Structure 1
Amino acid sequence: MVTTAAQIGWAESAALIFRPRVGELLTNTVLLVAITVPLCAVIGVGGAWLVERTSLAGAGAWGAVLAMPLAIPAFVNSYAWVSAVPSLAGLGSGVLLATLSYFPLVYLPVRAALARLDPALEQAAASLGRGPVRVFFGTVLPQLRLALLGGALLVGLHLLSEYGAFALIRFDTFTTAIMDQYRSTFNGSAGSMLSGVLMLLCFALLLLESRARGRARYARIGSGTAAPPRRIRLRGWQLPAQVGLLALGIAALGVPAVVIGGWLAYGGGTVWMAPDLVPTLLQTLGLALGGGLVTVIAAFPLSWLAVRHPGPFSRLLERTNYITSSMPGIVLALALVTVSLFFVPALYQTTALLLLAYALLFLPRALVPLQAGIAQAPQSLEEAAQALGRRPLRAFFGVTLRLVAPATAAALAMVFLAVAGELTATLLLSPIGVQTLATRFWSLSSEIDFAGAAPYATLLILLSAPMTYLLFRQSTVLSRADASAGPAPATSAPTTAETA
């Protein structure tokens, strides 16, 4: 972007940035984030509190239901709602669809934090005469700050990068405008300037989250208590809570399920006989597996440095990758298009360039489990193998790599599913003739062939559902284990990357 601005000059750059169209896009995007993020926060925190801290009937089932919308990509959710209500358009519709798609990003970390929270804190506040409302806002909510802000940050970054969901309802944001600019005129200068503004919004979100997080400490110093928290009796609020959760479940899960099922029934068996369905599925699996392998291979040395050789250099490398992955996929893809065309034309529209984009976008998804796995592999075992005569490389492959294998498989699975549902970078960078389930679904839905798009949406959901369930189970099981084992010594608040 800097190179493009230097080539076209300040006058043209300023003309492309300071114009009414950019002001309109900025207003739409800022309003979308300003309205949707608080709504997701309220729904996520409220749902987690109902499941973890009240006598909600069927709390276990509702806990899973509130996590399941993550299995439905936002553009698939938009496709379902547009099919049901064709008049959807504008800011209000964008807020509705984004909230239904992204509130689990707040719900999951907040629920895990609630499960780890020492119930003695709430009991002490209640013993001082505070009612349930004052206990929640004065004692519980401050302890949830890190999880809440981390989830809100993820929601905001998803809003800035989302394309398909808003394009279907004709709501213009920076991401939709950049894609339209690129596809209509291939104007790299205009697209780059819009990308620069969008990237500044990403950095503003990161800075805002960092400032709001503060430097408070949240870990207990003592051993705490492993006793389960005392649940608040809902009494007369039981029915409103059930009705509210049911309405949320119908809107987030029921509408997509019914609409997709309806289109499948309307199309009949012929929609499953599309000649490109199986090749598209195989290409999706191939790209997802290839992107997962490339990303895990790239993440392994970074994870190794962060765990075994911590220091300023390793932290710089790690933080750089988190910042890169926070940028919208369309910004990164547009940059790679420009670089490949000007400097390495042979790379343009190749699978190698697409895999590079996947690695840059999803590297943190591999870093987190790999770092955890390497940290749990005792270095003394590798040293013992070397003491018995094995060379360092052989000791690593024979001892450490075997211990890190489960974490490596988890990292590969997370990146695999992320690549399978990626849309904007794949649309810009995929070689001619290469399609994924996401891009083929988008092509058919854009042509108003909703029945033809239904099988691709179904396969996307089926690919995402197992990982969503695994994420839900992992967050609940690990949080319960942490609560029963007792806390570690007090530490400072984690970084933005660690919270995310």
Structure 2
Amino acid sequence: MAAATPSTAGAARGLTVAAAAVAALALLPLFFVVGVSIDSGWPTIRELVLRPRVGELLLNTGLLVALTLPLCIALGVGLAWLTERTDLPCRRGWSALATAPLAVPAFVHSYAWVSLLPALHGLAAGVMVSVLAYFPFLYLPVAATLRRLDPALEDVAASLGMTARTRFFRVVLPQLRLAIWGGALLVGLHLLAEYGLYAMIRFDTFTTAIYDQFQSTFNGPAANMLAGVLALCCLALLLLEATTRGHARYARVGSGSIRQQRQLRLGRAARYAALLLPLTTTLLALGVPLLTLARWLLAGGSDAWRSSGLLPALVQTLELAAAGALVALVAAVPMAWLSIRAPGRLQRMLEACNYVASSLPGIVVALALVTFTIHYTRAIYQTTLTVLLAYLLMFMPRAMLSLRTGIAQSPAELEDVARSLGRTPGQALRQITLRLAAPGAAAGAALVFLGVANELTATLLLAPSGTRTLATAFWALTSEIDYVSAAPYALLLIVLSMPLTWLLYHQSRRTAGR
């Protein structure tokens, strides 16, 4: 990288200050965990943490993660192999359908299954619904990696007499390690953070227990201690992934040309047998939610859409999602610019702060903001500003990653030319770089928008009285077992999530040149 010009260095100093302020805010949940522990003291910690209830929650959560992750990995890898490396009929269509469950929020999956089977509850139910809701997070990276793998290694293995099965386990599977580890980390963090799915099927996890404790004691030490344990679980998961992913290289070095991946030809009987996996998965992950929604919508008829709260909930959802996307995008600009124009150790540390904060469950972020605003900024307690701060902490990395890609595609020389013509660094950034980075910024804003639209836990805890988004209104109605009235809210949530699903699927195929 060329040495920074004086004007670039000056812009970097100003943006570093702004990025440091955002990073300090992002560390607020961790400060909350540490501060609560110090204030409570060891005797209180021992009393609240070392008790049977915490052990039960730890066992439930541990079993949930330990059972769900292998099933998600097996299902995601199996579907990716069938749709990318075999002559399975309608492979492109099955690939899109394997991504589509992401358009259905996890708590809507749970709503569909509970309304279909009211007796469904407990660990087995939690594992089943979690796998159906989250396996696409494994499928997408694994399928994208399979498309990019160099087939030369498999050709060499075949020339040595290895069967297709042996080649998969000894040559292909090791190259999928990073994709599997990354997808498993994402699924694990969702499992630790999810509230609505497990509350609806009556399966106790740390998140459901924290919410119930908060509702009964309001910011009591028990809820705060449970939040601290949950935060430690998330950090332990991050550390486990970082220490076990390995340091092997998976990129090809040297000249060469892109080659079409060899497809395994299935026999007629094997082809029909292989179709059972995507067909069954689609029926369970998409068919059940959509058919259940159709059932309740038909039962409610046109009256279900005449609910007085439906339009206000949609408007408030759109307003909060748009405001959250704008706040996250503006806050992401300094860090995204620094990561491309002035990378360094300090920049990497500041960026890591945002990633760690976004990996924490929304309920921990919400409790941190409740505690902070009550003690230090009571004027903004339970206001829209506090809700937007929560969205910023939870979703800013989504905006930053997309914006960083856009800035990387904007030539730095154009900023230098603008400054030489009398523009200030801020004007050059706004008028040149951000305009050229607009597509990446728009993609990041869309990711944040849809994340906010489906957010439930932090909104329930932090939103001002009278705030009613599609997610919170849906939750209130399902809590009253009014499944008919809840169906339109669920359908609108799915409709809002469809662009995100399409974006993820399209980007997955584009990065592989397909």
Percent identity of equivalent pairs: 56
Report the counterpart of residue 439 of structure 2 in structure 1.
Answer: 406
Distance 2:118 2:195 in 1: 18
Q: Which runs of 5+ in 2 are unaligned?
A: 1-32
Alignment of 1:262-301 (within 5 A): 262-301=295-334
Query: 1:5 offset after TM fit, Å?
Result: 2.7
> 1:405-432 CA distances to partner (integer Å, 9 max, x unpaired)?
1111111111000000000000000001
> Is the CA contact (8 Å cut-off) linking 1:120 and 1:225 kept in structure 2?
no
Alignment of 1:30-45 (within 5 A): 30-45=62-77
Counterpart amino acid of residue 50 in structure 2: F
Equivalent residue for 1:220, pick from 244, 252, 272: 252
Alignment of 1:18-417 (within 5 A): 18-235=50-267, 236-417=269-450
Distance 1:392 1:324 in 2: 29
Counterpart amino acid of residue 191 in structure 2: L
Distance 2:228 2:99 in 1: 34
Distance 1:66 1:125 in 2: 30
Report the counterpart of residue 462 of structure 2 in structure 1.
Answer: 429
Task: From the superposition, tell whether residues 390 and 9 of structure 1 become closer, same or farther in structure 2 (CA, over 3 Å).
Answer: closer
> Is the CA contact (8 Å cut-off) linking 2:219 and 2:371 kept in structure 1?
no
| Secondary structure, aligned partner of 2:294 | helix
> Is the CA contact (8 Å cut-off) linking 2:325 and 2:449 kept in structure 1?
yes
Query: Which stretch shifts more, 225-234 or 247-256?
Result: 225-234
| Secondary structure, aligned partner of 1:322 | helix
Query: 1:93 offset after TM fit, Å?
Result: 0.2
Distance 1:48 1:461 in 2: 24
Query: 1:218 offset after TM fit, Å?
Result: 1.0
> 1:71-119 CA distances to partner (integer Å, 9 max, x unpaired)?
0000000000001111111100000000000000000011111111111
Report the counterpart of residue 29 of structure 2 in structure 1.
Answer: none
Q: Taking structure 2 as the reference length, what is the TM-score of the superposition?
A: 0.92
> 1:224-261 CA distances to partner (integer Å, 9 max, x unpaired)?
44120110012132111112211110000000000001
Counterpart amino acid of residue 73 in structure 1: P
| Secondary structure, aligned partner of 2:141 | helix
| Secondary structure, aligned partner of 2:513 | helix
Query: 1:398 offset after TM fit, Å?
Result: 2.4
Report the counterpart of residue 486 of structure 1 in structure 2.
Answer: none
RMSD of aligned alpha carbons: 1.0
> Is the CA contact (8 Å cut-off) linking 2:395 and 2:448 kept in structure 1?
yes
Distance 1:8 1:318 in 2: 31
Query: 1:395 offset after TM fit, Å?
Result: 2.6
Query: Which stretch shifts more, 8-17 or 435-444?
Result: 8-17
> Is the CA contact (8 Å cut-off) linking 2:402 and 2:443 kept in structure 1?
yes
Report the counterpart of residue 496 of structure 1 in structure 2.
Answer: none
Distance 1:160 1:450 in 2: 26
> 1:270-329 CA distances to partner (integer Å, 9 max, x unpaired)?
111111111110000000000000000000111111111101111011111000000000
Distance 2:339 2:488 in 1: 42
Query: Which stretch shifts more, 396-405 or 314-323?
Result: 396-405
Equivalent residue for 2:475, pick from 442, 448, 452: 442
Distance 2:240 2:423 in 1: 50
Runs of 4+ aligned residues of structure 1 deviating over 6 Å after TM superposition are: none
Query: 1:384 offset after TM fit, Å?
Result: 2.0
> Is the CA contact (8 Å cut-off) linking 2:103 and 2:498 kept in structure 1?
yes
Q: Which runs of 5+ in 1 are unaligned?
A: 482-500
| Secondary structure, aligned partner of 1:352 | helix
| Secondary structure, aligned partner of 1:480 | coil
Counterpart amino acid of residue 49 in structure 2: I
Report the counterpart of residue 13 of structure 1 in structure 2.
Answer: 45
| Secondary structure, aligned partner of 1:232 | coil
> 1:177-216 CA distances to partner (integer Å, 9 max, x unpaired)?
0000001222520011101111111111111111111111
Query: 1:378 offset after TM fit, Å?
Result: 0.5
Task: From the superposition, tell whether residues 187 and 340 of structure 1 become closer, same or farther in structure 2 (CA, over 3 Å).
Answer: closer
Query: 1:339 offset after TM fit, Å?
Result: 1.0
Report the counterpart of residue 477 of structure 1 in structure 2.
Answer: 510
Counterpart amino acid of residue 198 in structure 1: L
Query: 1:344 offset after TM fit, Å?
Result: 1.2
Query: Which stretch shifts more, 219-228 or 20-29?
Result: 219-228
Query: 1:347 offset after TM fit, Å?
Result: 1.3
Query: 1:167 offset after TM fit, Å?
Result: 0.3
> Is the CA contact (8 Å cut-off) linking 1:382 and 1:396 kept in structure 2?
yes
Counterpart amino acid of residue 31 in structure 1: L
Distance 2:164 2:211 in 1: 49
Counterpart amino acid of residue 336 in structure 2: S
Pairing 1:419–2:452 present: yes
